[in-house]
Each structure stands twice: as C-alpha cells, then as structure tokens.
A and B are shown apart, each in its own frame.
Chain A
C-alpha cells in the first residue's frame, strides 16, 4: 500500500540557514512525488513535483528536492531560509485515479 512518512513533526531553523525536510515513501511502481506548502488556515500550494527524469527537481520559492529511489526518499531542500518560509510542509505520493497520499506534515519555524 502507498504511504508517506515525514519523520520530523517540527523543525526550527535560523533565518539564512539551510533547510532539509525529510520524506520517505512506500509505493510499488514508479512514484509520482509532490511537495506542498500550507500557511495557517489556508489551502495547500504546490512547491514542486517529480514524475521522471532528472532526480533533482527545482520548484518555486527557491526550493528543490532530490528523488533517491534506493532510499525511497524525496527530501526537500532550500539553501537559505527566509522568515516567510515558516509554514507546514507536506510530502505526497500520487496513486491510481489521481488519489494522493500525504505525509503527516512538518511544521517549519524560522528564528530571526
């Protein structure tokens, strides 16, 4: 069965520091992987997605993610975090009929 694990519930980083959010997935076939961001009380916005090809994908707001099949991981990274990046981040895998399976989310706090 498809599943997504985000092992970090909360992460705090200083503004300007680098960021890596972890995501591990379980899926039988080639996965379709997504990262979404959610501000408090808002819907989700797509940051980036991976379908095939280059395993390092670039997204909006300076985010990137690397797909590693051998580790079943799709970690999100940003070289320098801004205060406006404070939000909750969700990793998801796409399944049949365009159903999505989401991780439990990682809340990012940014220290000034």
Chain B
C-alpha cells in the first residue's frame, strides 16, 4: 500500500546533539512537508519542498534543516540550535506543486524528546 513512513516513532536526544528524522513516501507525490505539533498549537510548518533539490522555509524553520535529494525522501535534522525541540513531528506530502490545493497525506509522526 502507498503511504508515508516516518521513523523512528520515538526519538530521544541529549541536549547539544543533532538528530535526523526520516520521512519516505511511495505515493509519487511531488511536494513534501514537515510540521511540528505542540499541544494546543495545532500544526506549524517547518519546511516544505515542491521538487527535488529545492526546499523553502516555513513559519518556524530556525534550528532545523532539510534535504531533498530524492523525490521519495525528505529527512529533517533537528540541530542543537533548536532551543525547544521536544514535540511531535509530522511529515506530509501532496500530489501537486501548485493550486488547486489537494489533500495532504500524513505519516504517523515521530515524537522527539530531549533528555
């Protein structure tokens, strides 16, 4: 079945460490997104990519980095510069690159905890 796979499901990071969250999709979607979810704040966009080798900052990109070397993959690195990284991270993809907007498909999320 087609879908989005995020790994790991749970991740623990020591302060000062960089960690990378994996996101892979086999939907042949062009666009991919990373959202951060905190209680009571909904989803906030970190980065998005409309095409391979290109990506743009979202609303809360500071302390994060991404790459898009393959259409299927959009890993997110949480760097030590991110002051409050404990959150639930969701990866999503959409079929098109421009409007009209289509629905987003989401992975199951990665819960990152700083210890």
Binding site for B on A (CB under 8 A): 4, 6, 9, 32, 34, 36, 41-46, 49, 51, 90, 94-100, 102-105
Contacts and interface: CB of A to CB of B under 8 A. Distances in A.
A97 B50 contact: yes
Interface in B43-93: 43-45, 48, 50, 56, 58, 88, 90, 92
B41 A43 contact: no
Given A43-B108, A44-B90, A98 B45 contact: no
Contact of A43 (B31, B50, B98, B109): B109
Contact of A51 (B48, B88, B100, B108): B100
B10 to A, nearest CB: 10
Given A34-B103, A102-B43, A97 B98 contact: yes
A95 B108 contact: no
Contacts of B31: 97-98
B111 A105 contact: no
A105 B41 CA distance: 8
Nearest to B48: A99
Nearest to B93: A98
Nearest to B95: A98
B40 A104 contact: yes
A97 B58 CA distance: 11
B76 to A, nearest CB: 15
A99 B31 CA distance: 10
A86 to B, nearest CB: 17
B11 interface: no
A109 B37 CA distance: 20
Contacts of A98: 31, 48, 50, 94, 96-99, 101-102, 104
A103 B88 CA distance: 16
Given A97-B31, A97-B50, A98-B96, A46 B42 contact: no
A105 B37 CA distance: 11
A49 B104 CA distance: 11
Contacts of A94: 99, 101
The list of the 8 closest CB pairs from A to B, nearest first, reads: A94-B101, A43-B106, A104-B42, A32-B101, A102-B43, A102-B42, A44-B106, A98-B94
